[in-house]
């Protein structure tokens, strides 16, 4: 079911764990350590290109610019993550893979499409991947919600073009989640169709 209740939110263990990690990282890198440490881990396209500091594509997913950025991302992570966890359409491993691979896809396209001098950080690409994965659940299990889902996706995509937002992480994270969710659904369909003699 796509509708969430308090029990679904309480049982969203992976999502809650990711939220705690993000909050912990925010406290350490935005409130305790000097800003220089944050600069070592965020996505700095020049450093990635010139010095092959590719870990930044991963570590940037756990960093946020300010409390509002963190809060909005964590609310979205809780909602869409809880939908995935309560639905049980994807395994726990699939959830984790969708989250991190979508985030990496979003950051890789940001590396290619943003100016080389760009700095980027945030969990948005990974969270948009979860939104894409939820879209696949709706297509396969809750078709009556398809129109509403398309409206939400269009809203999220258009809101990605506000100043200071990384639209490429959002768009390609979303496409990554849709692609990975679709791949997972096809694997499930194939397993259902296997005939044993």
CA distance 128 to 131: 5
Neighbours of 101 (CB within 10 A): 17
> Out of 124, 160, 184, 185, which one is annotated catalytic?
124
Is 64 one of the annotated active-site residues of the chain? no
Which of 15, 64, 120, 170 is flagged as catalytic? 170
CA 157 to CA 135: how far, in whole Å?
A: 14
**In angstroms, what CA-CA distances link 75 with 9, 72, 164, 168?**
11, 5, 19, 21
Torsion of CA 159, 164, 166, 170, to 10 degrees: -30
Give the number of residues written for the chain. 197
d(CA 16, CA 33): 24
- Cα atoms found within 13 Å of the Cα of residue 168, Cβ hemisphere only: 15
Q: How far, in Å, CA of 14 to CA of 8, rounded?
A: 12
Residue 163 CB contacts under 8 Å (≥ 6 apart), including other chains: none
Verify whether residue 170 is a known catalytic residue: yes
Catalytic positions: 124, 170
């Amino acid at each position: 079911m796509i509708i969430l209740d308090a029990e679904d939110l309480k049982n969203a263990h992976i999502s809650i764990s990711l939220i705690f990690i993000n909050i912990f990282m925010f406290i350490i890198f935005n409130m305790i350590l000097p800003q220089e440490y944050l600069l070592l881990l965020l996505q700095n396209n020049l450093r990635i290109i010139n010095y092959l500091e590719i870990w930044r594509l991963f570590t940037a997913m756990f960093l946020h610019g300010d409390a509002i950025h963190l809060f909005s991302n964590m609310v979205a992570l809780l909602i869409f993550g809880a939908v995935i966890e309560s639905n049980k359409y994807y395994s726990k491993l699939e959830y984790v893979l969708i989250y991190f691979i979508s985030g990496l896809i979003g950051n890789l396209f940001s590396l290619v499409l943003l100016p080389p001098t760009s700095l980027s950080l945030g969990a948005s690409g990974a969270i948009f991947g979860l939104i894409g994965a939820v879209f696949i659940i709706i297509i396969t299990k809750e078709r009556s919600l398809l129109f509403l889902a398309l409206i939400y996706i269009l809203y999220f995509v258009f809101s990605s073009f506000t100043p200071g937002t990384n639209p490429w992480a959002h768009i390609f994270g979303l496409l990554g989640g849709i692609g990975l969710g679709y791949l997972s659904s096809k694997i499930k369909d194939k397993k259902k169709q296997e005939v044993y003699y």
